[in-house]
Structure 1
Amino acid sequence: MLTITTIAVMVAALVLGLAANHYRRRRASPDGDAEEASVSDLVSPLETLAVLLVAFVIVVAAESFGAAGAAVGAEAHRVDQLYEVADYAPEPQRERIQADAVCYARAILAYEWPQMDKNGQKAPEVSVWSSDFRRHFKELARADDNTLDLLVEADDERSVARQTRLSEAAPAIPPVVYWFMVVALAATVGAFAFGLPARRGPSHIVLLCVLTALFTGSLLLIADIDRPFSGQIHISGTAMEDTVDDIGEDYAEDHPDRLLPCDARGARTNP
């Protein structure tokens, strides 16, 4: 709907500008050259405003997209690190933390990732495993284990990365800013069309259409990267998928006689 509306507004601005230009030419006065210069003077600051606005919004959207991608990679890395650090913990906490890490990663992909295109919401199927981490850390604290600090640090960084991923799923550009930008670019296109010279050739129309296409493409690009997990240019869950495969294989080798406390989707299977 956003894409269709954006394209419709830009095309309408082009058509209306050309129609207004045609009407103005039919009623042209002898001092048409002076009028031409006046229109050009008005279009110039409007063009500057539109270009600066697009540049600013693209930077904001790109930074949000980059932060979301970094958070996805950081979370996957911290889950893997949590599993590896747990190797130095005593049993039974070692096996329990590593099992929870595998189940957490599975639940992220199965339950939380599909919600990323809905502005990001925490899935309870994932949170149950993060709560389990803290429960096992408390057991290690009572045992005065030296690995506790490393585990808590890795888990804290995992939690921060998860929260960042969820928060970056929401658009960074407020709707009012986006639509103000659409109006500014549409007004620019319309003004350019309105100010076309009386003796215009096909090249003027072609260049104006190219300009409209570029402005429209810029708007659609901004709208797309501002939805980092659901647009055409989106962040995939490959990093977490690799982590699931990696620590899943490690768990099978490290604990061949133990079953995971979750199913293939990360849902808890035991009380």
Structure 2
Amino acid sequence: MVLVIVVVAAALLAGLAANRFLRPRLLSEDDDTGMAVKDLVGPLLTLTVLLLAFVMVTATGSYGKAEVAARGEARAVDQITEAAEYAPAAQKTRIQADTVCYARAVRTQEWPAMADGDGSPAPSVWSTDLRNSFRPLQGEPAFGMLVAADNKRSEERQERLTQATPSVPSAIFYFLLATLTITVVALGTCIPRRNNRGQVITLVVITALLATTLCIIRDVDRPFGGIVDVQPTAIAEAERQATRDFLAHHSAADLPCNDQGIRRNT
């Protein structure tokens, strides 16, 4: 990074020095026109568009990973619920109850917290209880399936929480904002002062498109807190199925948690 800054600064100083001292010797006639501002706006606009496109791809990739992780976690929770059918009755009841409570905690506690890039300790209470419920099953056929599904759940949850944090650093975002501002100002400087209705309309449209692109980048870079956000649809469906399996042999009062996935006082 230091090398890039030094080289670019040296090139700028060399260009200014050549413009001031070397150009009069190379040109036999007086030339005061040089490159107009409008000649420099084209490369600036191209740079702005390329930067926006690159950052857009990065932000969209983060959004896609968050969505995939949310679905993968829900599938793992569903697999734990199904694998519990092969466990003895006591462990089966405890595991299925824990999956219901875990899904509720993710949906109601952790999902809103991810809007600010944070997590919640509520789901960890039930994931710990799940692992404790696996211990009596060592040597049983269901043990391997349960452990594998729980490991997958843990990995997908970690990926989901990772993607909740913005992938585009604030410095890059504000650099894009500054670049966009300079570009718009330069474009406004270059339009004619009279009979410029068409140019003004075009400038307004370009400004709106560039600003919208930057807003979209900001939005999709926060997959769980923007306008276009990842909804807890998959984990809600896993919760519904786990609740259905649990209530087939028990009542809702037997669940160790309330509707928000918080442990009941016993």
User: Are the counterparts in 2 of residues 72 and 237 from structure 1 also a CA contact under 8 Å?
Assistant: yes
The one-letter code of the counterpart of 1:154 is: A
1:27-74: CA deviation from partner (whole Å, max 9, x where unpaired): xxxxxx956x52232112211211110000100110111111111111
Q: Pick from 147, 151, 161: which aligns with 2:146?
A: 151
State how 1:235-254 maps to structure 2 within 5 Å: 235-254=230-249
- Percent identity at matched positions? 42
Cα distance in structure 1, aligned partners of 2:89 and 2:262: 23
Q: Compute the displacement of 1:88 (Å).
A: 0.9
Cα distance in structure 1, aligned partners of 2:252 and 2:186: 74
Whether 2:93 is the aligned partner of 1:95: answer: yes
Equivalent in the alignment of 2:214: 219
Equivalent in the alignment of 1:137: 134
Higher relative contact order (CA 8 A, sep 6+): 1
The one-letter code of the counterpart of 1:235 is: V
1:153-180: CA deviation from partner (whole Å, max 9, x where unpaired): 1101111111111111111110000000
Equivalent in the alignment of 1:203: 198
Q: Runs of 4+ in structure 1 displaced over 4 angstroms?
A: none
SS at structure 2 position matched to 1:92: helix
Cα distance in structure 2, aligned partners of 1:253 and 1:232: 38
Q: Compute the displacement of 1:270 (Å).
A: 5.6
User: Are the counterparts in 2 of residues 120 and 167 from structure 1 also a CA contact under 8 Å?
Assistant: no
Q: Compute the displacement of 1:183 (Å).
A: 0.8
1:237-265: CA deviation from partner (whole Å, max 9, x where unpaired): 12212222221111111445981122222
State how 1:73-88 maps to structure 2 within 5 Å: 73-88=71-86
- The answer to which of 235-244 and 45-54 deviates more is 235-244
Whether 2:53 is the aligned partner of 1:58: answer: no
Equivalent in the alignment of 1:110: 108
Equivalent in the alignment of 2:36: 38
Give the TM-score of the pair, scaled to structure 1.
0.81
Q: Compute the displacement of 1:134 (Å).
A: 1.1
1:190-242: CA deviation from partner (whole Å, max 9, x where unpaired): 11111224665310111011111111111111111111111111111122122
Cα distance in structure 1, aligned partners of 2:193 and 2:261: 68
SS at structure 2 position matched to 1:227: coil
The structure-2 alpha-carbon separation of the partners of 1:257 and 1:52, relative to structure 1 and needing over 3 Å to count, comes to closer
RMSD (Å) for aligned C-alpha atoms: 2.1
Gaps of 5+ in 1: 1-32
Cα distance in structure 2, aligned partners of 1:233 and 1:93: 40
Whether 2:256 is the aligned partner of 1:261: answer: yes
Q: Compute the displacement of 1:182 (Å).
A: 0.7
1:68-101: CA deviation from partner (whole Å, max 9, x where unpaired): 1111111111111110011111232111111111
Between the two proteins, the alignment pairs up a number of residues equal to: 236
Cα distance in structure 2, aligned partners of 1:186 and 1:124: 41
Gaps of 5+ in 2: 1-31
Whether 2:106 is the aligned partner of 1:126: answer: no
Give the TM-score of the pair, scaled to structure 2.
0.83
1:128-148: CA deviation from partner (whole Å, max 9, x where unpaired): 11001111222211xx11111
Equivalent in the alignment of 2:173: 178
Cα distance in structure 1, aligned partners of 2:199 and 2:253: 73
